[in-house]
Structure formats: C-alpha cells, structure tokens
Chains A and B, each alone.
Chain A
C-alpha cells in the first residue's frame, strides 16, 4: 500500500473531524439565528475576534466530545512496525487504515493520541478553574466587602501563595514522600485515607463549593423556608456525595472517583489559581460596594452575605467571565507544563504536555511527534484568549 501524500493526509484529517464540522455548523447556525435572545453570548457574534475564538474553542470541545468517533485507533494501541513512522503511513495488514499523522516512539498513532489528549485537557482545566473560582469568590467577597483585618490577613496569604514558585510547589506536592506521608485513618468498609498534604488540601478546597452554594441559598431564601429546605437538601446531598467520592475515594455508588495522581494535579492547580481569582473578586467588590443599590439593599435590612452574593457578585460577572476564559487557557498551559516535566496524570496518558515532552527527545529526527500536540495546545489557548478578548470588548459596550 502506498503512503499518503500531503493533500491526502489533509483530506483524511478533515474527513475524520467530520462530526466536529457538523457540530460546529449546527451550533453556529443556531447561535446566529437566536443571537438577539442570547445576551452576552449572542453579542459575541458582533465581534470577529470573538467569533474566531469561539470557533477554536468549540472545535476542541467538540473534538473532546466526539473523540471516540474521530480517533482512528485507541490512544494506547501499539502496532508493531509503526514506530516513528512518517505521517500517512499505511498500517501493516489492515487494508485502508493509516497512521494519519505518523507513529510515535512506542508505535502509537499520533493523531489519535492528540484527539484523546483534548479530552484530558478539557475535563481537568475547566473543572479546576471552576473550583478555583469558587474558592476565590468565597474568600474575595468578604475580604472586599468588610475590609479591615480579615482583608489584610487573606490578602497576605494570597500574596504568599502567589510569591511561591509554581513549579517548585508542584514538585513538592507530587513527590511520593509527601503524598504518602501522614497519619492513616481507617474509613468504613476497610477504606484507608492518608492525611497527607495533598489530601488535606483537597479536604479544604473541595469544601468551598458546598459552602458557596449553601450560603447562596440561605441568604436568598431565608424568608421562604420551604424553598430553602429543598435547595439546601439538593445541594447537601449532591455536594456531600461528590465530596466523599472525590476526597476520601469512598463513594458508595462509585460515581465520583478521582485517580490519586489526578487529585494531586487538580488540587495543586486549584491552589495556585485561586489567589488570583481572589484578588480580582476583592477588587471588584471594593468598587461595587460603594454603589447606591448596595446601600438600598442595606436600607431594606439585607444581611451582608445576601448583598455580597446577590447584589455584588452578579455585577462582577463581566471581569469574572473574561478571566474565566483566560484562566482555562493558563490552566491548559500549566497542565502542559506539568506533563512536560513528567508530572502528568499517568505516564502513558495522551495529554498534550507529556506527548510534547516525549516528542522533544526526537525532535530533530522526527518532528511529527511533537508538532501536532503543540499546535493543538497553542490553538486551544489562542482560542480561549481570543474568546476572552471578544467577551471583554462586547461586555464593555453594554
């Protein structure tokens, strides 16, 4: 069988991404059609930069969703004789199948690994950013609103975390000694939990989303006990269930589970991202709390947490949404960097940073190993940055 030429490779890639193209067209058509009813998202279509960013981000999101349909092989499939083969190389003994972008040093399909890599990134990065936002908001709001000693202490801690070199922090958190060190606790059903530094951090950080939602509902619905009870019950059940699963690995139903490696990475990313979010929220809160509508809320007897969460926070959404997009980008790069240093989720996982690192060693001989994941990483981060720019531009026009 012949090796594929340049155009054929391009055609194959395009063809494999067919589900993504269809999804893109459907989403864009629907969005443009209903843009007048979609608020800020609809306005994004007024800005060319925003559209470009949105398309790039959507492309990777859809790739992550349809990874099983797009990828030609499994991420871990090794086929003998395909080691370091050039792009477009036909697979031995299998009619019509190619390693479209070539094979890597362990004879795995580069294209498929890139596609599956998007899944890794697009699950961890937004989730970690979301958790960082929960922590940052829950601490930033009172610091900005009350000011005084609380603000001084929290800001000092935030500066401390920010001043610590991130990579060093990661190395520390991920070292086996630190991970395994700590008193052991016996949980029910023979489960064990080690009170190591990363585990303790997870214990603290994963509590914040639950606190956030409980305070959110209590402050809003304290005058309507029945509604409050329903919201609280739902929050507590889902929250504690997920908490048990993620922190103690003790979910009785096995739905929530996080690989210990992944938990480390996740906790570290949340930990280093939340101080920045904290600072943004604090600054915006200081600005917004002087507005008349905050005074109006006070004069009708609203409690501080209601004012923070329902009067101040919704009006801080502009800068927060923009920062959310940017921060997913930073987190993506951070995950790439971690993978590059071998701190990835697992040695054989297809995440982009790790793949780039492996490809780097053979870069002068086989550039096709490192280039696809590098380009993928770049385009996703570029898309997120453009999207953030577009959102900022459009939200200012409001």
Chain B
C-alpha cells in the first residue's frame, strides 16, 4: 500500500487570547493519498483555514497545536526542526490564498518573483530560473508569458494574477498543494477557467491537493474526497460520491437542502434552511456540536458526551460524526413549507426604456482640457417589471448592474432614456429631488451585511429614522410600535431594537436591512446580491424571508446576482447583462433552456452545481472581461465568444447586434442564425432521465436522488421510495379524513409540548383548526395518516406517537 502524502491524526489547534483558550480545530483527522484531491468544506469560522495554517505551521503567536500529529510523507512535522520546516514550506508544500493581489509583492516584477522560487529552493542559475518560470507561465495558459514576466502585479487582471500565484506554487514541484478558497474573489467565468486549470495540472503533475472552499459545487468539480467541517470538527468524510449521494450526517444533509440545486423551486420545492446559528467557540454545546440545530436531536443520546467519528457500514473510509447514523431515515423527504398561492405578476410597475448612463472620466484632472474618455456603464437598457414579479439581473463584475441600481434609486441620473415608476418618470430625478412617496417606493437591500448598518446607531433608532424620513407614524410612539412590528416581520426578537449592529450576526444584520427596505411599503425593492456574503445555511433563511415578505406585500423585486443557481430558484424573469448591454432577457425557463445567448451559455456552464446527477457541457471562456473604458467594437462579447466562428464575415466585430425576439418576450442580442439557435443543446442536464423543466423536478426529485446510489441501497430503500408518492395529490383523495376542526378557543393548548411539534407545525395545525390536546388525542388512524400526508411526514406522527403524547398531556391539563 502506498504511503499517504499527508496524514493528520486527531489534530487539535487552539488560539490563546485574553479570554482564555479558544479551540479552533478539534479532533481532526484526514489522509491525503498521492495524486488525490481532498476537499475541505464548511461555513466561515468552522476551522477549515486553520487546518491549512496548521499544516504550514504558521499560526502566529496566538495559535498553537495542542494535540495530534501532522505527518508529511510519513514524518511527523512536529518533530522537525525549524530549518527542515522552512525547507519544506514553499518547496514540498505550497499554498495558494484567496486574494491573489495579497500574495504577490506589488513592488516586484512578476518574472523576478517567479524566478526567486527555483533560485532559493534549488539554487539554479538565473538563466535556468527564467526558462523554468517562462515554461510554467505557458502551462498555466497565460497569453504572452514574456510580457507578463516583465510586468508588475497590478498591471494584469485578477484572474491572471491567480494564475501567476498558481504558477509560483507549482514552480517548486510541490508534493502537496493547499488551496484556500482560490477562486472566491473571482468572477464566475474566470473561476471556471481556474478550476479547469487546477484540475488539469493535478492530473498532469500528480500533485496531491487540499482544496478549501465553502462551495459544494466547486468541491464536486475538483475533488476526489471531501471532508465536511462544522464548528471546529470534521463531521463527515468520504469520497465525493459517497458524501454527495449518501450523506450520513444531518449537517451535510442540511447544507444540501439549503442550497438551490437545479430542481429547487420557490413554490413547490422551497429551500430548507438550517435553523439557529453557528455556536461561538466559547459556548459550544456538550456532545454533538450540531445538536441544537439538528432535527434529529435526541436528548441524552446526542448530548451525553463527546461524539466520535463512526464508520459507515459497507463503505470504506466514509465516516460520520453522528450517534444516530443507523436510526435516522436518511431518505425521508424533509418537511417543506409549500406555497399555496404563488404570486401572480400584475400591472407593469417599472418600465425602463432605452436607459443610458455614461460617465466622463477626464484623462488629466490637473489641466481640465485634453481628451475626456467616456465609460459607458449602461447602454440601451430596456425592460419592464411587473407587480409581485422577481426580475433577476445577472452579470459579472463591471457589467453595469450596480449602475442600473444607482439610477433607479436616484443616486445617479440617467444620461439618456426614461425610467417610469408607475406613471412617474424618475430617471432624471436625484433622490434629494424626489418626493417622499417616490423615495419610499424604491428601496434597496445591500450586499454586504457588515456595511449596511451604521455601527454607531442602535438597530431600533436606525429603523425609526427610516420611518421618520418616510413620514410614517405621527408620534415617536407610533414609530416605535411600527419598528417593533417590522422586527416581528423579519422574525427577529423585539429586544434587538436596543442592540448595536456589532452584536448581530451577518444573517441578522441582513434581516434588518430587509426590514428597513420594506419599511415604507415600497413598490420596487432592488436587492443587490443580498445573500452572497452570507454563509450557506443562513442564505436560505434570508432568501425565504425576502420572498415571503415580497409575496405578501406584492412588491416588485429586482434581484441583482452573479449566481445563476439562486436566480433560477428565485426569479420569474431574467435579464442577462454584459458590459453595460442586456444581451438576453426572458422568463426563467427561456434563459435556462436553449436557445441561449452564447454568454448565457457560458455562464450556465460556469456555475458549479453540487449534484452528482447533473451533466454539464464545459464551456470555458478565454481571457477576462474587457474594461468598460475601452469596450470592444461591435458586439461587446465578441472578444470572448466561443461561437464567433459560426457567424459569417466580420459582422460581430463591426456591428452591435440588434435585439431579436425569439418569441414570447424572449429577446437575444446576437448575430447567430436561427439555425444555430435551434440546434443548441441544453448546458445542464439533470439526471439522465429528465432533462426537463424545473417544475417537474419536484415530483421526481426523490427518484433522482436515489438514482445514482448503489444498487444494494436502492433496493433496501425501494419500499420507502414507493411510499413516497407525490405528497400533493393524496390530500385530495382522502379529503374526508381531515381531523375535526374547532374555532380558536380563548386559551389554546401549547401544542409544542408534543415532542416533534415545533412552532412551525403548530402553526400549520392551528391552520387546520386543531388547537387542543383533546383534539389530537381523538385522532384515529385515518386522521393521523391524513395529517401525515398533509405535512408530508412519511409516518412521523405514528413513529413519534403524537396521539399517545396528546392523551397524556390532555390528562395532565385536566388534572391541573
């Protein structure tokens, strides 16, 4: 058997601060074999970067390895001298960080930085070092390597910088490469290029890699094995396919339920967020760290003592830190809160016609004259948004989506064209010239939760100031009450009114941002990547909240995003922008199924999808997004378009394609012929069976999930799968079996006392007219089954013995 490159045994890393010892990584073990890529996934603060720093033994003066061993090629790194460690770092183990600009020395030419590596580690001559650096730049596919060698880091783009960093790491021919979120700072299409490069290099050189990311889709695309971390511990580890298809830890399952995979739908198959939030390192619970947030939590079994990694039967090297692996029904469909009355788009609320926004950049500020250059941030933007509709604006950085938002909000005025809000033209009115009603009608949810609230004012006073500005409430008390109602609306405790922003988590801050935006009953809310800075498990909750409020208030939402998976989930219509132009717009179905604009096609192919049953075409764009200061002639996308060859002549380079209707409101700006459009294949194919639409997916999803599992498992679960018929139809069939209703009594029982009933289910039961233990106690089998189906519980009511519990509780209540 070959020796592993990296073997970590029971690693414990703590940080020592004034408050005492803070364990950052606990009891962490993993093995990386030669040529293997290990993915490390988890939310912020789970300790994944600390593991990487621990391997490099670079934890500053506060961090310390307090237990366990890290073996590199069989040798314990703890026993190595500083000399040996220094020798290994950078030559045998190389690390690539998130911010490429921060890893390059801005005062040194790239060539010199690259040449340093072989010169220091292998003492080669300058000429040879130059040759090697040049070859390496070619292998990371940088155009014109000689020129790049002679430039400074700030003279090349972010994607190219990251390629340089990778080249630098590989120059020393390392045995192990640590990649810490290497693509997080990059645009999606650029990210796709880097991911492909990393994969190819891994295959070519046989380097082992440790790939740290919060993005499950990326892990699936790059890694062989995966370790999921939660709150300082590894909770599940195994091969990518084992973990993705047969996950055996509630946290892993929660993660997958909270990311919008293809097949999720905001009405029929909404996301499920993980409740609560990550515990702080100081107050982790006893026993299972995930216990307080887990749906399968059982008192005494989960909080008795430390939980260890348990092997999973029949699968080699697949372990899970869960005491109830064999007891939890892993295939059970989780309870979803279905939406009965999806919003119907109404009248046109926002009408944007031929909007243009140019900025003049004086070439020379000192002497006013000279040439002024124009940045065309928005060019001929035309689209409409209706009441209750969610329109997604998709594009990468520099595409002009934020400028568009600024014009809508009145922070900038349009250069040309018109923006109509109802009947009012707002395109040329600055926010200070708008009347109070218009101002409160167009509001925004900002991207960065840590920046959206003023750190100096309390939460309550910030919301009250907004109300004051919008003229809501006559007295201070009125406004205070309204503010508290808004806190209720975004599901935050009223006590938060007195808190300062720094006392809130990212998700909570973003909820306040939502409350503030919806304070004045806006007609249009612009949401600028409202969840992209949040952790995965919190994203779902905030997204759901945003959609709920929007649906109830019948607000039009412009959802700005670069993430097409979220867009597919949330949007009714999609506008795709590139370099200030709308290149394609249409309904979500139009955008996500062929024919596509070539840019949309590339974008779709670039999003990493965390679903093993998905097959994607790989379209990797060359180069970077051109600068808006110096846009290409003709079609803005022509410099990177993979389908340019399919258009005859130099049409793409000379002429801006006109907007072309493909029917039913689907518009594309492209010179491609109809024949090419008709021949386009879908980029993303779900499962092999249904290549179809997202709505159908909700019924067939369980099948798709099991389709790729091992035959033995599939057989074992086939009985259960058959019991999982579409939950929606059953209630109709057995309508008469619904439990007897009653009117809300003055003192309804606290149904939450029944174990298995949470506040959410209590709400649903109340909706069915069930308020008292007595009622539940009287349920017969038929009623139980009906409610079971209604809640799509798969027999949970029977298993948890609600009727029995209710009887006991009813008696207790009577005795009282």
Contacts and interface: CB of A to CB of B under 8 A. Distances in A.
Contact of B443 (A292, A297, A299, A302): A299
B432 A303 contact: yes
A303 B434 CA distance: 12
B154 interface: no
Nearest to B468: A223
Nearest to A398: B502
B452 A293 contact: yes
A46 B19 CA distance: 11
A46 B409 CA distance: 45
Interface string A305-318: 00000110011010
A293 B454 contact: yes
B469 interface: yes
Interface string B427-461: 00001101010011011101110011111110000
A300 B470 contact: yes
Given A223-B468, A292-B447, A301 B454 contact: no
Nearest to B436: A301
Contact of B452 (A224, A296, A301, A303): A296
Interface in A355-398: 398
B457 A314 contact: yes
Given A299-B411, A302-B469, A314-B454, A292 B448 contact: yes
A37 interface: no
A46 B444 CA distance: 40
B451 A292 contact: yes
A301 B444 CA distance: 12
A300 B454 contact: no
Contacts of A298: 409, 411, 431
Contact of A315 (B434, B452, B456): B456
A315 B447 CA distance: 20
Contacts of B470: 300
A293 B443 CA distance: 13
A46 B17 CA distance: 13
A295 interface: yes
B509 to A, nearest CB: 11
Nearest to B440: A300
B507 interface: no
Contacts of B451: 291-293
A295 B412 CA distance: 11
Contact of A299 (B444, B453, B465): B444
A292 B456 contact: no
Contact of A300 (B448, B469, B502): B469
A317 B456 contact: yes
Interface of A is mostly: helix
A287 to B, nearest CB: 12
Contacts of A291: 451
A223 B469 contact: yes
B411 A296 contact: no
A292 B432 contact: no
Given A299-B409, A315-B456, A46 B18 contact: yes
A300 B452 CA distance: 13
Contacts of B69: none
B410 interface: yes
Contacts of A223: 468-469, 471
B516 interface: yes
A301 B502 CA distance: 25
A286 B410 CA distance: 21
Contacts of B446: 292, 295-296
B466 interface: yes
Most B-side CB within 10 Å, residue of A292, A303, A314: A292
Contacts of B409: 298-299
Contacts of B453: 293
Nearest to B466: A300
Nearest to B447: A292
A301 B456 contact: no
Nearest to A311: B454
Contacts of B455: 315
A301 B447 contact: no
A291 B409 CA distance: 16
A95 B632 CA distance: 98
Contacts of A293: 451-454
A299 B454 contact: no
A315 B455 CA distance: 7
Nearest to B457: A314
A292 B457 contact: no
Contacts of B440: 300
A224 B516 CA distance: 20
B411 A301 contact: no
B439 A300 contact: yes
Interface in A36-89: 46
A303 B443 CA distance: 16
A301 B469 contact: yes
Nearest to A291: B451
B22 to A, nearest CB: 15
A315 B502 CA distance: 13
Most B-side CB within 10 Å, residue of A224, A296, A302, A310: A296
Nearest to A293: B454
A292 B411 contact: no
A296 B516 contact: yes
Contacts of A311: 454
Nearest to A299: B409
A374 B578 CA distance: 69
A34 B424 CA distance: 56
Most B-side CB within 10 Å, residue of A223, A297, A300, A303: A300
A303 B444 CA distance: 18
B616 to A, nearest CB: 34
Nearest to B470: A300
Contacts of A300: 439-440, 443, 465-466, 469-470, 516
A317 B456 CA distance: 10
Contacts of B469: 223, 300-302
Contacts of A295: 411, 444, 446
Nearest to A227: B476
Contacts of A296: 444, 446, 452, 513, 516
Most B-side CB within 10 Å, residue of A46, A310, A317: A310
Given A292-B446, A296-B444, A301 B457 contact: no
Nearest to B528: A292
Nearest to A220: B465
A223 B468 CA distance: 7
A377 to B, nearest CB: 35
Nearest to B449: A292
A150 B775 CA distance: 75
Contacts of A292: 446-448, 451-452
A175 B762 CA distance: 85
B432 A301 contact: yes
A159 to B, nearest CB: 16
A224 B18 CA distance: 46
A231 to B, nearest CB: 15
A354 to B, nearest CB: 42
Interface in A250-304: 291-293, 295-303
Nearest to B409: A299
A301 B434 contact: yes
A373 B444 CA distance: 60
Interface of A: 46, 223-224, 291-293, 295-303, 310-311, 314-315, 317, 398
15 contacts: A292-B451, A293-B452, A293-B454, A295-B411, A295-B446, A299-B409, A299-B410, A299-B431, A299-B442, A299-B444, A300-B440, A300-B443, A300-B466, A310-B457, A315-B454
Given A299-B409, A300-B470, 18 more contacts: A223-B471, A291-B451, A292-B447, A295-B444, A295-B446, A296-B516, A298-B409, A299-B439, A299-B443, A300-B443, A300-B465, A300-B466, A300-B516, A301-B431, A302-B469, A310-B457, A314-B457, A315-B455
Interface of B: 18, 409-411, 431-432, 434, 436, 439-440, 442-444, 446-448, 451-457, 465-466, 468-471, 502, 513, 516
Closest 5 CB pairs of A and B: A314-B456, A292-B451, A301-B439, A292-B446, A293-B454
